Amino acid sequence: MRITTRFAAAAALFAALMLSQGNKAEGQAIVLPGPWPPLPPVERPETPLRVETKSVNIEINDRAARTTSVHSISNSSGRELEATFLFPVPASAAVTGWSLEIDGAMVPGKLLNRDEARRIYEGIVRSQKDPALLEFAERDMFKASVYPVPPRGQRIVSLSYDSVIEANGDSYRYVYPLPASSAQSPSVVSVKIKSSKPIKNIYSPSHPISVHRNGEHSAEVGFEVSSAAPRADFALYYSVSEDDIGMTLLTHRDASDGGFFMLMASPRVDFPEDDIAPSDIVFVIDRTGSMRGEKMDQAREALKFCLRGLRPSDRFNVILFNERAEPLFDGLQKAEYSRVDQALNVADSIMALGGTNIDSALESAFSMKYDPDRPAYVIFLTDGLPTVGATDVATILRNASSRAPKNIRLFVFGVGFDVNTRLLDKLAAENRGAAEYVRPEEDIEVKVSALYRMISAPALTDIRLDFGLMNATDMLPATLPDIFLGSHILVAGRFTGIPGPVRLTGMAAGAKKEFVLRPPEKIGNNPFIAQIWAARRIGLLLEEIRRGGGDYKRELVTEVAYLSKKYGIITEYTSYLVEEPNMRLSAAPAARYREQMLMETRTQEAADAVSGAWGVNQSINAGNLAKSAAPLPETQSYRDKNDNVVNVTNVRSVQGRAFYLDAGTWNDSRYTDDIRNIANIKPYSEAQFAIIREIPELREYFAIGENMNIVLGDMALRVSPDGDETITASQLKALLARRDML
């Protein structure tokens, strides 16, 4: 017996979409128990139909992509039901074919036109009252019937479609929309990429991905969706290049803030062995009494891991220090078997005792006769404050500056909380390296071995970037790191010109090399780049404030406050943005003065914490921001002065703009209480759909909630329950005139 229910509820499904760079891919499959259109909204039980996306598989061959998603439609009732399967067509994607299987059998479907699709969508949104569905309005739609869905059973639906990717230069972008509800997300998303040209940089700004390279022309990418996974759409970028070092340039231009760029560079998978630069590496290990026990055991294993990873062409030495520094060898030695074996035996017998003479250890490390044509690395590990010899921070830094060879890179590991973070941070920053901190509950071996894996095979060193006509500024990091096999560098910055050829130069095994990236065909629409740059900038400013101690400059504090508010990047210095929203929302000069004073008080207090849990945590927090490689997650976190993890959940980013949740209302970071020109509309109203039809880019903003204030120049668009059902022609005209201010 065939029974058609009258439930009007819709359940969100997903489909993978392919779009060219600069356009957002959007799509969603919806199961509707018929008939359609629904009855007027009334109180009714939830639909017994439930849909889940089991998996999504994407196969990309050059510019052709096939996307297949597998869904289950389950029926919790005791009768057969019919479901209508609706799938929004990817906007701007060249869809070349569709197929739908239900339990292995092919079934017909119909492509609805824009007007019919709009009528269905608006009915769904009004009945569901789910703002997340607004993001998928104004789309054509694929429709098919699923019958029967057996009582207390399920049907398996497999949807496939083919599409063509539009490239921007040698870069490609793929987006798969994920739902707000993790229960409706696919458990696994996998992508197989094949290219006639060698594949270089593979990057996702939205999700932590695993990448498996099958030679130069093939790669597999995947991630598993969990309850903690980001709710953002899955975005995947990759580029192709015949060069030994391949580059990817992503750009974005904001109407008010100008241009932002992000450049990635990575070596080819089968990078020529002869071009891998032999290195000079010195391991400096603290063996003072405080290292006794588990810390010393982990340090031994870390050292042994690094020693076993040396290549025969490398030169090395090991320095153990307490009150004085003791090199294992008289100078740098070739990494021959006998020498490495001797060092391994010494590592097994390290005894921990005595005080900490950091100055002597650095002097010993820097006095080695490094080859100026080789990259030189010092890995320095300590768990204590300087207690013997020179103990004044300024003196140690001054001595290090005068002794360090020009080609040295100093990587510092601070173990535990009893370290001077200002000293270690400055040593690393002034010697082209980085400072890492190992918290008491963390494993020294894991952190040291991870770094060594990265630096053990330099592909290009002493690199320089020339952006030519772009007029690039504010590049971060300011000092460019080396490029190593199996990894990539990421540089973010701003630009005022036009994208032109980018030149990357550096040294590969003693020979100068140059690589040229042809410019993208157009400036992209990648607003996430601005937030990545802002996070890195805030991290840099916080590091400068901390290194300066009480002598920091006031303008640094002001810039941290400005960038934090604008981009929704919350730190221990700027937590007032979410703790005291009235101060953020007020346009009064008194509020700005109070904000400045609060920032300066917090900054001074924080800058004085050089060691201990808070000193270490601040260095970790700032360092994490300075290394940002993706937009911040929906739940931001940092460790405070009490060593507690602070989670911030009431900040969202939409198209690079921050929104703060204040007493149930999402407020644009640009919104203040002195804005008087306000268009107030009701959610799910004709007014909201009329605006979407005229300004479709507002869909993503509307999708975050039913109560919000969006700023367009001197005007605010408010969505609230007491808003108007319709919008006047003059209000719509005013919004259209300010469209470029989004």
Residues 389, 492 within the same domain:
no
Q: Total structural domains in the chain? A: 5
**Would residue 664 count as lying in a domain?**
no
From the list 175, 164, 165, 128, the residue with the least C-alpha distance to 30 is: 128
CA–CA separation, 258 vs 527, rounded Å? 11
Above 90 in pLDDT, residue 34?
no
> What does the pLDDT average to over 22-35?
39
pLDDT of residue 226: 62
| CATH number, domain with residue 409 | 3.40.50.410
pLDDT of residue 8: 25
CA–CA separation, 38 vs 740, rounded Å? 37
**Would residue 667 count as lying in a domain?**
no
Above 50 in pLDDT, residue 268?
yes
Residues 141, 92 within the same domain:
yes
pLDDT of residue 539: 94
Averaged pLDDT of the chain: 85
| 8 A C-beta contact, residue 178 and residue 233 | yes
**Where would I find the H helices in 100-205?**
114-128
Above 50 in pLDDT, residue 10?
no
**Would residue 189 count as lying in a domain?**
yes
Residues 509, 541 within the same domain:
no
Residues 637, 574 within the same domain:
yes
Residues 365, 413 within the same domain:
yes
Residues 576, 476 within the same domain:
no
Amino acid at 289: G
Comparing 5-9, 64-68, 327-331, 475-479, the range with the smallest average pLDDT is 5-9
CA–CA separation, 198 vs 203, rounded Å? 15
If 0-12 CB within 10 Å is exposed, 13-18 middle and 19+ buried, where does residue 717 land?
Answer: buried
pLDDT of residue 28: 40
Above 90 in pLDDT, residue 151?
yes
From the list 427, 451, 286, the residue with the least C-alpha distance to 366 is: 427
Assign 626 a pLDDT band (cuts: 50, 70, 90). Answer: very high
pLDDT of residue 17: 23
Q: Which of 618, 653, 688 is the last residue of a domain?
A: 653
If 0-12 CB within 10 Å is exposed, 13-18 middle and 19+ buried, where does residue 742 land?
Answer: buried
Residues 259, 395 within the same domain:
no
Could you tell me which residues are beta bridge partners of residue 652? 659
Token couple for 391 = 């103990």
| CATH number, domain with residue 473 | 2.60.40
Percent of the chain with pLDDT over 70: 88
Strand-strand pairing, 434-438 and 408-415: parallel
**Would residue 661 count as lying in a domain?**
no
Residues 202, 178 within the same domain:
yes
Residues 598, 725 within the same domain:
no
**Would residue 115 count as lying in a domain?**
yes
Residues 293, 417 within the same domain:
yes
pLDDT of residue 127: 77
Assign 554 a pLDDT band (cuts: 50, 70, 90). Answer: confident
Assign 178 a pLDDT band (cuts: 50, 70, 90). Answer: low
Write out pLDDT tens, residues 198-249.
999 999 998 889 999 999 999 999 987 664 455 567 889 999 999 999 999 9
Residues 681, 640 within the same domain:
no
Above 50 in pLDDT, residue 19?
no
Assign 177 a pLDDT band (cuts: 50, 70, 90). Answer: low
**Would residue 665 count as lying in a domain?**
no
Above 90 in pLDDT, residue 342?
yes
Domain, as residue range, for 510 = 245-273+459-517
Write out pLDDT tens, residues 103-113.
777 777 777 77
Phi and psi, residue 104, nearest 5°: 90, -10
Strand-strand pairing, 376-382 and 408-415: parallel
Which residue has better confidence, 281 or 630? 281
> Which is it for the CA torsion 691, 692, 696, 697, positive or negative?
positive
Write out pLDDT tens, residues 411-438.
999 999 999 999 999 999 999 999 999 9
Residues 349, 429 within the same domain:
yes
Amino acid at 146: V
**Would residue 160 count as lying in a domain?**
yes
**Would residue 663 count as lying in a domain?**
no
CA–CA separation, 629 vs 384, rounded Å? 31
Write out pLDDT tens, residues 696-737.
889 889 988 999 999 999 999 999 999 999 999 999 999 999
Q: Which of 653, 686, 712 is the last residue of a domain?
A: 653
